[in-house]
Amino acid sequence: MLINWILYAYAIIFTIYAYVSQVAFNQQLLILSCILYVISLHAWRFSSFMPWVRLLLLCCFHWASQLNLILPLYLLTLSRDIYAEDSKKKSWILAIIHTLTYMTTAYTFWDHGSIHLLWFYALTNTLHFTAIALMTRTSHTTIKQTELLRKERVLLSKQDSLTGLYNYEECHRRLEQYIEEKQDLILILIDCTDLKSMNTTRGFQAGNFILKQIAELLKILFSDALFISRYGGDEFAVVMPLMKDSHSSSVSYKLQLDSELPKLTGIQITYGIATYPSQGLTKDDLILLAEHNLFMKKREAWLKREEHMLRSEKLRVVGELASGMAHEIRNPLTTVKGFLQLSKANGYNIENWYSMIMDEIDRMSDLTAEFLQFSKPHSTQFRVHSLHECVLKVISLMESEATRLGHEIHYSESFEPIPIMMDQDKMIQLLLNLVKNACEAIEENGIIQIKLSRDQKNATLVIEDNGPGISNESLEKIFHPFYTTKESGTGLGLSICHKIVQDHQGTLEVESEPGHGARFIITFPLASEKDTDIDKAAFI
């Protein structure tokens, strides 16, 4: 501290001057006071009473020298003690006591001949002490604020403002420093998987609270960490010293990350671990490996979640199918049961209800056959066939039925060949179902339009009728199993059609407005030249 050296130098020069000029009242006391005063300058921070002890020594020093040239020592000592004092009140007390001490000591050897000169001298010295106190206090406040701002800037440049942990840049800097020092370590990158969805559903304040909580938990769980940082938005980095038994250390860390941290935070945690120097010799290698391991963990968690969702969806579909099947079979069973109860009352004579019972049994048989067709996997034989020929075959099968009902089938074909990789029997079943549905939907004198076209990649088949159309409510459910608006329908026809289209890598869409008919649009990918060549070779 520069002011100390100034005080040392001035005190020694002042002592030498007083001793040589022999103006000192007591030379032994002068030298002793100087020595103790210089020592007190060095020991000022060891006691809160040291400023008062130093002032007493300075008073003795002043009285022994009996020279007012000691005034600069008073002023410098006061400046030094005020600068070291945080309390404004204590600073002004120090200024007053220093002023009174100096004036009292000086008064003991002052020439009292001129009282006016004495008052002038007292006023001048009071102004000196006041000015020094004001200047020191102002500079103290300014310097303290400047230092505080500097520390805050340094802190903000190194630490994350939300969690108080080191930020991304400081993490890289410290990790590189430890690697340069050849410190064996383990790098753990932690990702809070559910935090983004939490920010969306509960707001960013809930996410910030979780981040703070995780930061505190990491400090507790990894108390012996070299450092912990907020590596990214929802990622943290923990650097641990590598113990001799690195395997057991990794197992312990994995247990904390797999079990304890998710249990305490309530969110899913994924992580990646890399060790130095066994798995990487540079900072970049180590971070790259940890990020790769983190990605693999995320991928593994995503696959498990998708598998769980798929299993849940399958169970839901099975439940819907079972519920629908039970509902559809229960209706004819109830009818058969009722007829058998009536026959019991008539001596078990079922002649009157025989035909109805057989109709219900046939309905159950048809229902179970269609259900098996819908749910049971079939072996399919995909070959290249012309979609145009399939349409012609379906028209020939349905033309007589359409004529009987008073309907007409109009077909607009493409002039280009349309080869499709298909199971021909399934394709014909698909088109038969759609054309038959169109015939049944039209009340009388209807027209069924079939249009076939193609582009470079796909074939498009449109089956359109001018019937009453499909309501918006029904339009959303027509492909659901067991949904039907027909009195004798099973609700599996369109579900089977949709499944056949999916098996052929195609799409099936419906457009309809009540009162303006319905329009089924089917697209299939065209067979490639390679598929056509393979199929021709199979027939040779």
Measured from the Cβ of residue 142, the count of other Cβ atoms closer than 10 Å reads 10
Tens of pLDDT, residue by residue over 445-494, are: 788 889 998 888 889 999 988 888 887 777 766 776 666 666 555 566 77
Is residue 314 scored above 70 in pLDDT?
A: no
H-run or E-run covering 117? helix 115-158
Tens of pLDDT, residue by residue over 228-271, are: 888 877 889 888 888 776 666 677 777 778 777 777 777 778 88
Using the 8-state DSSP alphabet, how is residue 470 labeled? -
Which pLDDT score is estimated for 90? 79
Q: Is the peptide bond before 332 cis (omega within 30 degrees of 0)?
A: no
Which pLDDT score is estimated for 25? 65
Tens of pLDDT, residue by residue over 483-515, are: 666 655 556 677 778 888 888 889 988 888 787
Report the half-sphere exposure of 123 (CA within 13 A, side-chain side).
Answer: 6
Mean pLDDT of all residues in 221-229: 86
Distance between CA atoms of 189 and 294, rounded to whole angstroms? Answer: 7
Is residue 375 scored above 60 in pLDDT?
A: no
Using the 8-state DSSP alphabet, how is residue 527 labeled? P
> What pLDDT band is residue 48 in, cutting at 50, 70 and 90?
low
Angle at 34 between CA 29 and CA 38, to 5 degrees: 150
Interacting residues of 264 by C-beta distance below 8 A, sequence separation 6+: 217
Distance between CA atoms of 366 and 490, rounded to whole angstroms? Answer: 9
| Residue whose C-alpha is closest to residue 479's, from 456, 500, 499, 495 | 495
Which pLDDT score is estimated for 524? 92
> What pLDDT band is residue 280 in, cutting at 50, 70 and 90?
confident
Distance between CA atoms of 461 and 418, rounded to whole angstroms? Answer: 11
Sheet bearing 185-192, strands edge to edge: 227-230, 235-241, 185-192, 269-276
Range of 130-144, 228-242, 307-321, 353-367 with top mean pLDDT: 228-242
Number of H-type helices and E-type strands within the chain: 18, 11
What is this structure's pTM?
0.43
> What pLDDT band is residue 530 in, cutting at 50, 70 and 90?
low
> What pLDDT band is residue 538 in, cutting at 50, 70 and 90?
very low
- Long-range CB contacts for residues 209-214, cutoff 8 Å, separation at least 24: 210/265, 210/267, 211/162, 211/163, 212/162, 212/163, 213/265, 214/261, 214/265
3-state secondary structure of 402: helix
Interacting residues of 500 by C-beta distance below 8 A, sequence separation 6+: 426, 427, 429, 430
| Residue whose C-alpha is closest to residue 101's, from 73, 82, 120 | 73
Report all structural domains of the chain as residue ranges with CATH numbers, in order of start. Answer: 2-155 (no CATH), 168-281 (3.30.70.270), 303-375 (1.10.287), 383-539 (3.30.565.10)
Percent of the chain with pLDDT over 90: 2
Mean pLDDT of all residues in 25-53: 69
Which pLDDT score is estimated for 491? 63
> What pLDDT band is residue 523 in, cutting at 50, 70 and 90?
very high
